[in-house]
């Protein structure tokens, strides 16, 4: 992400903040991450349209024989697609979304 900051639009949102900040075991690390994420462009991510679209994408993936482990990843991917915002990730759940539903991604 360091390479992207200052060069590209980096967007975060409600469920993305939850997903990132829930993973810290140290309060100090969590606070540090929060302070780094607060200045980023923020958008509400899970409205009715994204929720319904995520269900469609989840079902589409199931028809392709893919079961996504975490529904939140489908929600994030579905939010990103129409806005042309590739998620920056290291999560294998985004790989089939790239392959089967056209999600553009950035891996780290």
| CB 75, CB 54: distance < 8 Å | yes
**Tens digit of pLDDT for each residue in 43-99?**
999 999 999 999 999 999 999 999 999 999 999 999 999 999 999 999 999 999 999
Q: Which residue reads 């939010």 in tokens?
A: 79
- Set out the domains of the chain in order of their start, with CATH numbers: 11-107 (3.40.50.1010)
**Tens digit of pLDDT for each residue in 17-30?**
999 999 999 999 99
Indicate the DSSP class of residue 45.
-
What is the model's pTM? 0.85
> Which residues make Cβ contacts (< 8 Å) with residue 71, sequence separation at least 6?
54, 58
**Number of Cβ atoms within 10 Å of the Cβ of 102:** 10
Token representation of residue 86: 């590739």
**Number of Cβ atoms within 10 Å of the Cβ of 46:** 17
């Amino acid at each position: 992400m360091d390479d992207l900051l200052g060069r590209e639009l980096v967007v975060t949102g409600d469920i993305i903040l939850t997903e990132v900040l829930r993973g810290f075991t140290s309060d100090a690390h969590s606070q540090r991450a929060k302070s780094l994420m607060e200045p980023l462009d923020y958008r509400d991510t899970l409205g009715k349209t994204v929720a319904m679209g995520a269900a469609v994408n989840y079902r589409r993936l199931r028809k392709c024989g893919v079961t996504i482990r975490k529904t939140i990843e489908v929600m994030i991917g579905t939010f990103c697609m129409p806005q042309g915002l590739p998620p920056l990730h290291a999560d294998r759940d985004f790989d089939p979304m790239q392959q089967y539903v056209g999600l553009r991604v950035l891996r780290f």
